[in-house]
Amino acid sequence: MQLVKYLRGASLTLLATLLLSGCDTVVMSPSGDVALQQRDLLVWATVLMLLVIVPVIVLTLWFAWRYRESNTEATYKPEWTHSTVLELVIWSVPLMIIIALGAMTWVSTHKLDPYRPLDRIDAQTPVPVGLEPLTVEVVALDWKWLFIYPEQGIATVNELAAPVDHPIRFKITASTMMNSFFIPALAGQIYAMAGMETKLHGVINEPGVYKGFSANYSGAGYSQMKFDFHGLSEADFDAWVAKAKASGNALDRETYLELEAPSIDDPVTLYSQVDPTLYHAIFNRCVAPGQTCMEDMMYHSGMGQHGGHHGEADTGHEGHGKHEGHAGHDQHGGQHD
């Protein structure tokens, strides 16, 4: 009976090992500097915790063997209650590990803040003075990804590209459901939420094709919500942009509303032209004609409260405030009721 249990356990272990051997270990061998620093943080945190875990496991096995019933040579002290040396070890070692973990976490939390612009390309190369990051506006749709390149005037569906060793600034939002934007080789995952904008800064250091996907369940098409991220040389990236510009497709608001409809496993689509106000309208949830933008609703709500508190005093400032509040919005092509 014991032999059967042993063989069953060994078989399950072997099966798990074989299955895991086919897993992609990209998180532990990334190609982007930010993801590499995150990997190092995971490794060091694990090593620090193993400083307690491994000795405890070893000592547990050793004590079980040393003080087994059949070992009559083991010291037996049923009245033993205290050891100063043992107390110092038990309390000081975990305390030092907690202090080290806390310090490392504090520094890394600020250093790897996804909103913080990059200050280096890799461990040996700072960001060159005057090098502006490539801006990509990311929209999580149901169930596909839209990438808008405002500086290049193009857009893509389910395909992303960037030059190697060039900082990237992602501005991320969603059309409806919450998703999570994740390219394991590049950087950590960042949530995409409707009516909100999150940011992520990253850099890819090695040419290649990397997997990106949604790491947050969002319904029926979640498992097909994937895309390829191409790390390209500057020349190849320029050729990729030229290919998109030659596609002849235009992404305006009407086209976007059709694209926004839920669909699964959409093919890669390139757009040679993009409405420059589109991302701002998506973010403010006012793409369709007649919709009031969120910033307008907040503006009018704030003006109403201001007027309620200050009464007649508001009339002297209303024109100036309204002019400032709407000038920025009109610049992006917002619509008003």
Q: What is the per-residue pLDDT across 100-116, written as a single tens digit (0 to 9) for each? A: 999 999 999 999 999 99
**pLDDT > 70: percent of the chain:** 82
Give 57's pLDDT tier (boundaries 50, 70, 90).
very high
Both tokens of 250, joined, read: 């235009």
Q: How far is CA 181 from the centre of its chain?
A: 5
Q: What is the pLDDT of residue 281?
A: 94
Q: What is the H or E stretch that residue 182 is in? A: strand 179-182
Both tokens of 43, joined, read: 């490794």
Give 336's pLDDT tier (boundaries 50, 70, 90).
very low
How far is 276 from 151, CA to CA, in rounded Å?
10
Lowest mean pLDDT among 98-112, 235-249, 300-314: 300-314
| pLDDT tens readout for residues 173-186 | 999 989 999 999 99
pLDDT for 209 beyond 50: yes
Q: Counting every residue, how long is the chain?
A: 337
pLDDT for 98 beyond 80: yes
How far is 13 from 20, CA to CA, in rounded Å?
11
Q: What is the pLDDT of residue 82?
A: 85
Both tokens of 118, joined, read: 């990059």
How far is 279 from 45, CA to CA, in rounded Å?
39
Give 301's pLDDT tier (boundaries 50, 70, 90).
confident
SS3 category, 62: helix
165 φ/ψ angles, rounded to the nearest 5 degrees = 60, 30
The most confident of the ranges 7-11, 78-82, 201-205 is 201-205
Give 138's pLDDT tier (boundaries 50, 70, 90).
very high
Both tokens of 329, joined, read: 């919005």
Rounded to 5, what percent of the chain is helix, strand, coil? 45, 20, 35
- Compute the half-sphere exposure of residue 74: CA atoms within 13 Å on the CB side of its CA: 13
| pLDDT tens readout for residues 308-321 | 444 444 444 333 33
pLDDT for 47 beyond 80: yes
Starting at the earlier edge strand, list the strands of the sheet with 154-157.
198-202, 168-174, 134-141, 144-149, 154-157, 269-271
Instruction: Return the sign of the alpha-carbon dihedral for residues 165, 128, 181, 189.
Output: positive
Instruction: Return the sign of the alpha-carbon dihedral for residues 106, 210, 124, 120.
Output: negative
Answer yes or no: are the C-beta atoms of 144 and 225 closer than 8 Å: yes
90 φ/ψ angles, rounded to the nearest 5 degrees = -60, -40
- Distances in whole angstroms, Cα of residue 241 to Cα of each of 2, 244, 277: 65, 5, 20
Lowest mean pLDDT among 53-57, 237-241, 247-251, 333-337: 333-337
